[in-house]
């Protein structure tokens, strides 16, 4: 399953390209924002997975 930020990153890249082609600075800026939001969501998902892995390994050591 793709991470939650993948769609935002793809949408952001598409908006940036469309904005560049049309000469629309606002659309390019929105694309950068969407892409940054996607990167943040991906980083949060990775941190959550890492924390869960640490939690699971600690539980395993106690048993």
pLDDT tops 50 at residue 3: yes
pLDDT at 62: 53
Q: Which CA distances in Å does 15 have to 3, 4, 6, 40, 48? A: 20, 18, 14, 18, 28
Q: Which two tokens stand for residue 49?
A: 């997975």
8 Å CB contact between 43 and 3 = no
pLDDT tops 60 at residue 63: no
What is the three-class DSSP state of 33? helix
pLDDT at 1: 44
Please tell me what DSSP assigns to residue 46: H
pLDDT in tens, 14-56: 999 999 999 999 999 999 999 999 999 999 988 888 888 888 8
pTM of the model: 0.74
């Amino acid at each position: 399953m793709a991470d939650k930020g993948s769609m935002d990153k793809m949408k952001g890249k598409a908006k940036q390209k469309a904005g560049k082609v049309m000469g629309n600075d606002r659309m390019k800026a929105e694309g950068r924002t969407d892409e940054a939001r996607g990167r943040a969501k991906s980083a949060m998902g990775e941190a959550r997975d890492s924390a869960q892995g640490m939690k699971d390994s600690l539980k395993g050591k106690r048993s």
